[in-house]
Amino acid sequence: MNLKKKVLALALALTFITPMTVIPAAAADGKAILDEADFYLTFEDGVKDDKGKYEFKAEGDVPSVDGKFGKAIATDSENYFVYSDDVEFGTDSWTLTSWVKIDEHSGDQVLFGNKDWNSGGNPGWLITPRDGDWKINGNPGSRFDFQYSYKDSVLQSEKGEWHHIAIVTDRENGTLTFYVNGVVVLEPFSISEYGDGDLDGLSFTMGQDGTGYYADGSLKANFDEVALFRRPLTAEEVAAVYTYAPDGYEAATLVTKETAAGGQSDNPAPAVGEFNGIVTDGLQVYYDGANNTGEGQVKDSAVWRDVSGNGYDFSVSLDGNNHWTDKSYYIDSTPNYFPDKVKDIANGEQYTIELALGEIEQPGTNWVSLIISDNDEFSLFVRVENDNLEYKYNDNNRDRPVAEDGAELVNNSTVAVTFDIVDQDCFLYVDGELLYEAVPTEVNHANYMHLGSEDAKRNWLGDVYAIRFYDRELTAEEIAQNAAADNERYRSGNPIVNPVVETPVAEEPVVETPVAETPAEPVEEPVSAGFASAADAANGKNVITGYEFVSGTEGFGGEGSDNLWDGDTATKFCTNQFPAESIVKLDGEYNITGFTMATANDNADYNGRSPNAWTISVSADGENWTELAKGDDTFFEETNFTYYAGEGAAEGVSYVKFNAEGTASGTFQVSELTLFGDQAATADAALDQKAEAPNTFDFGIVAAVAAVVSLGGFAVTKKKH
């Protein structure tokens, strides 16, 4: 398998929707479309391109099995797969279609791809089914990743069945679209903002990554009717390929969610145009738990209709734990993704978001995330540590709405947030009462938003009565009106008493700097929130940039321990060998005044990779070490590209050592460790002062202040790449 040294990549979101409603087959001719494919593998005559244009090879003894139509191939990532050294994707448009059947998968083994998956920053693109979601990674100039929970996806819920996938890249318009079973499940989204480079990497492979040796997980899957087109297929053409069947075989039936609710209504619908006292001016999206179809309630509906009339429906999970009640959707620790319109509203200059809840349980250990975005730039949540209800709206907005007694506030209540960047207002209300007024400086930049979370640190369960999104800031009187309407419609007998509208003055936060009683023994205390860069984390302190790698623990692929000091969060130190260690020599002798460490590219996706016991030690000679700081995984949050600052001081430092004893997941990763400090005096000058220095260690190191680490789990700004 050959390496094509080109910088690229691509990532996309996979949102799989279970087939529901039959619609007429596409008018386009599926066979005619397949006839124009650049390559076409039916596997009827083994592993070969039926077009005769590209050479495909079998690595190992790839078996022929029963396919969707006739014969197919089976792959086992640990033993056999198929690849081609000839296929390139370049900078032009293309579409890949295939029937796939996944029998077993673990980790993040690759379904299709052409890159070395030991690092997501490597050239190439891929699709991988993971333990909690699907992910596409790539880089047409700069890397980006996207993942989507597949609790509702057909490939996860119907494992062992044949399904059709199509990836459509339109390079002229700079978009990527994803289809499952002939239906678009990911609307075209921009990839041009990540670059216009090629999408080539290593060998194009089915059932492994481009190296053929990726070992983080396994995959057993079957492939049939794999085709590549050198143009972006239209939605009609994708549907036609999906519904095509050779003579003698049954064609698939195209389905959509458009009339998926169906069934008989369990509850009568309100009259047309009736919103039960809810304010309608500016109402863009409205999910009513007592009218989930727009024509009443159907308890087996897998779609929650937008009753505003704008058509922004979304799929909800239905199983033994997640279900409809008479007036609500009962959610149990499951992410249910909203349509993109919701994200667009939340990123606007003005908006109002209202969430009406019934009785809920809040088992999340760190945060109870009611509504959250994948990039954690939007989060309406209760912080478990201090029981505060918070609204996080772009981490650059340091003044965020906060209210005490959060767990009690959100239970059986309507929570509302309003935002106006022009007037610099961001208000938090509960049941019509204004609890906090914040002053924003920037609009939001949330990505894919969802109701609920399956993360044990963030999960909750209970009744969701209604969710509303407006494209303007509602007044205090309008917020109170909606809260009263919710109470009347969903919580009859539990009146809201005298909503009070007032504007509290936010108190300035008190920052205390703990001092260690014994300087040589570091202590662990909370510090600041996270930051977008090392310079921001330094807060005026000098950032040390000169590091010479000495030694360290081996990492995965290009994710070695030297990456910890390179100043680039796009790289990381990632390993499953413990203790994990990395040692560097500074470009001079320094008096250390603090440090920062940063999360990597996918901590939000792969939780439990931050070290649960770590130390930073310093030395003058690289042999005799003094502990500067220590902590655990609460120093970090499960966010990407985020710097967290700590305090610690020592004089006469020329070497630094980082050590991690383990992690909750068994895999460790940190992208950056950077020290703050000033160039020290010469060695002779330092030795002359040694007699006067308290707590002086051998070789001129003075421990002045112990480390300060974060135990609060505060969410922070991400650095984009």
Compute the average pLDDT of residues 396-412. 91
Instruction: Find the mean pLDDT for residues 540-544.
Output: 94
Percent of the chain with pLDDT over 90: 56
What spatial distance separates the first Cα and last Cα of the chain, rounded to whole Å? Answer: 29
Q: What is the spatial distance between Cα 709 and Cα 586, in angstroms, rounded to a whole number?
A: 23
What is the predicted pLDDT for the residue at 257? 43
308 φ, ψ to 5°?
-70, -15
pLDDT of residue 68: 96
DSSP annotation of 488: H
The set of residues, in sequence order, having a beta carbon less than 8 Å from that of 691 and lying 6+ positions away, is: none
Task: Find out if CATH 3.40.50.2300 is the number for domain 283-490.
Answer: no
Query: Sorting pLDDT into bands at 50, 70 and 90, what band is 513?
Result: very low
Smallest CA-to-CA distance from 614 within 669, 660, 667, 673 is with: 660
User: Does the pLDDT value for residue 424 go beyond 50?
Assistant: yes
- Do the beta carbons of residue 173 and residue 191 sit within 8 Å? no
pLDDT per residue over 451-496, tens digit each?
999 999 999 999 999 999 999 999 999 999 999 999 999 987 444 4
Q: Where are the alpha helices (DSSP H) in 267-374?
A: 340-346
pLDDT at site 168 = 93
In the chain, what are the domain boundaries? 38-232, 283-490, 534-708
Residue 705, pLDDT score = 37
Question: Tell me: the pLDDT tens digits for 567-592?
Answer: 988 889 988 888 999 999 999 999 99
Cα separation, 128 vs 107, in Å, equals 9
The SS3 call for residue 415 is strand
For the segment 417-435, the average pLDDT, to the nearest whole number, is: 96
Written as one letter, the residue type at 196 is D
- Cα 57 to chain centroid distance, Å, stands at 35
SS3 category, 692: helix
Q: Using an 8 Å Cβ cutoff, are 250 and 40 in contact?
A: no
Q: What is the pLDDT of residue 14?
A: 38
pLDDT greater than 60 at residue 445: yes
Closest CA to 403 of 502, 470, 477, 484: 502
pLDDT at 271: 38
Least confident range from 479-483, 484-488, 518-522, 620-624: namely 518-522
* CB-CB contact of 108 with 130 (8 Å): yes
- Whole-model pTM: value is 0.44
CATH 3.40.50.200 describes domain 534-708: no
pLDDT tens digit sequence for 321-339? 999 998 999 999 999 999 8
519 against 536, higher pLDDT: 536
Phi, psi of 620 (to 5 degrees): -90, -25
Pick from 162, 164, 32: which is nearest to 102 by CA? Answer: 162
Q: What are the tens digits of pLDDT across the range 626-666?
A: 999 999 999 999 998 999 999 999 999 999 999 999 988 88
Whether 38-232 shares its CATH topology with 283-490 is answered yes
| Residue among 410, 414, 417, 415 nearest 394 (CA) | 417
Structure tokens at 62: 């790839």
Is residue 599 predicted with pLDDT exceeding 90?
A: yes
**Tokens read off for 142:** 């700069």
Report the range out of 131-145, 178-192, 460-474, 632-646 with the highest average pLDDT. 460-474
Going by pLDDT thresholds of 50, 70 and 90, the confidence category of residue 154 is very low
| Selection from 192-201, 207-216, 266-275, 687-696 with the highest mean pLDDT | 207-216
Query: What's the pLDDT tens digit per position in 302-318?
Result: 889 899 888 888 888 88
Q: Which residues of 549-576 are buried (b: 16+ CB within 10 A; e: fewer)?
A: beebbebbeebbbbbbbeeebbbbbbbb
| pLDDT value for 704 | 41
Model pLDDT for residues 36-65, shown as the tens digit of each residue:
999 999 999 999 999 999 999 999 999 999
Side-chain half-sphere CA neighbours of 584 within 13 A? 22
> 38-232: what CATH class?
mainly beta
pLDDT for residue 605 is more than 60: yes
Confidence of residue 708 (pLDDT cuts 50, 70, 90): very low
Q: Residue 507 — pLDDT band, cuts 50, 70, 90? A: very low
Query: If you average pLDDT over every residue of the chain, what do you get?
Result: 82
Per-residue pLDDT band at 256 (split at 50, 70, 90):
low
262 and 275 in contact (C-beta within 8 Å)? no
Q: With CA atoms as reference, report the closest residue to 558 among 595, 596, 601.
A: 601
**Is 353:371 a contact under the CB 8 Å cutoff?**
yes
